[in-house]
Structure 1
Amino acid sequence: MASVIKGGEFVAKQAWGSQLIANMNGITTRVHWTDQPYKWHTNEGEEVFVVLAGLVEMKYRLEGAEHCVVLGSGDIFYASAGTEHVAHPKGEARVLVVETEGSV
């Protein structure tokens, strides 16, 4: 089986709506569309967050200090297990997320 997904063109019916691309032994890869912030959260496993289109302000906390970085197309954010973070898109954004199945 093969498929082609135009990640920069993907649109969902609601913020953070997604399309599953693959589940590889419990690790999911999804493309998301959003125009709204997510919520502060932590994952039990690692997460890779790749901006496909748009701008996303990523806030994260390390050792009690809050950090912030603006991610553009092609930029990647990695969160180790337990890293608290939240994504705030600046307008519409499309992102690819790789994480353990069932993560928040």
Structure 2
Amino acid sequence: MRLIRPTEFEGEDAWDAFDIEKIPNATVRLHWTDQPYIWHVNDGPEIFVLLDGKVDMHVREDGQEKILPLSPGDIFHAEAGDEHKAVPITPARILVIETEGSI
């Protein structure tokens, strides 16, 4: 898992790109929430882009729980098998790109 802060990316040339993930059969959804999601593990990768609000992303790695605070513009990337749960601190709008059928 990783947290990507777009403001920290700077290319060497105009339109340089930072590849985050390739997802076959992906869905792209805009979510609104003011309630936590459940702990879950996706079947495939997930890209979680916080557009508005504040969210704490709870993650479990090696039996340890960590909290990654997200601000608007931050990108959370989870690979298949990464356990995580989004907990909004304020109402939030989130762009989620994931394998079709993921929870």
TM-score by length of 1: 0.75
Q: Which amino acid aligns with 2:40?
A: H
Structure 2 unaligned residues grouped into runs of 5+? 1-22
Q: Distance in 2 between matches of 1:39 and 1:60?
A: 12
Sequence identity percentage:
54
Give the corresponding residue for 1:99.
Answer: 98
Q: 1:71-86 maps to which residues of 2 (within 5 A)?
A: 71-86=70-85
Give the corresponding residue for 1:8.
Answer: none
Q: Higher relative contact order by CA 8 Å / sep ≥ 6: 1 or 2?
A: 2
Deviation at 1:25, TM superposition (A): 5.2
Deviations 1:42-82 (A, max 9, x none): 00100010000000000011111111111010001011100
Q: Distance in 2 between matches of 1:35 and 1:49?
A: 16
**Count of aligned pairs:** 81
Give the corresponding residue for 1:16.
Answer: none
TM-score by length of 2: 0.75
Q: In the superposition, relative to structure 1, how do residues 83 and 69 fare at CA in structure 2: closer, same or farther (>3 Å)?
A: same
Q: Distance in 1 between matches of 2:100 and 2:64?
A: 28
